Structure 1
């Protein structure tokens, strides 16, 4: 799996997002939370991912967008490490649930812990 985050790999389906929050499971490593759902896709994508930041904690769109960019970049860089030999089709949403603005280094460390915890959780089931 290459280290890209193409348009095909982005989670955009509102129905799937709603279903994920109703029926999906979650894994948390503060300040990140990952909600996931095992599913199938019509295109040749194993994993579709999305990111979200709460408007309640970050009123300015500039701050929310910066955090989302950091989350996407950290996911893109760490994706090949965790999902190279991954065969289960999953959709997941990465949520930033913290109150303060993070640095890239903080997000990257927590993203690695979160993806590791997710990988162990999904292999257990």
Structure 2
């Protein structure tokens, strides 16, 4: 079970990020929102992920970077369920919508709920993937 967050898993393509916001679908579990789009990714990577925190809500770069590190860490620890069951290649953008700096426990719980919600929504759209999604 590989729990690294490798360079190949990081979403950096400006074209793909633009496509994500123009054509993507989203699911939310406050204070997190996941915007995703099904796409063809180079290599064996199933999912590419980027995280974002509003500069308007968090003026200090220290605070924004802390929240982004927290989001990447909680995704890294919970990504196994998504990468195993996704079945296709996806690009994800995880947005933090809250106004306070979160703690780890709350962020981890919300990330699990968000990824579970994503899997449920994807299985509704593709009936061939009907199975229980447990983390």
Q: TM-score, normalised by structure 1?
A: 0.96
Unaligned runs of 5+ in 1: none
Flag the structure with more relative contact order, 1 or 2, with Cα contacts below 8 A and sequence separation at least 6: 1
Offset at residue 95 of structure 1 (A):
0.3
1:21 match: 21
1:68 match: 68
Whole-angstrom distance in 2 between the partners of 1:55 and 1:47: 26
1:80 to 2:80 alignment: yes
Whole-angstrom distance in 1 between the partners of 2:85 and 2:2: 12
1:96 match: 96
**CA offsets, 1:33-61, max 9 Å, x none?**
00000000121111001100000100000
Q: TM-score, normalised by structure 2?
A: 0.89
Unaligned runs of 5+ in 2: 126-135
User: Alpha carbon RMSD of aligned pairs, Å?
Assistant: 1.0
2:45 match: 45
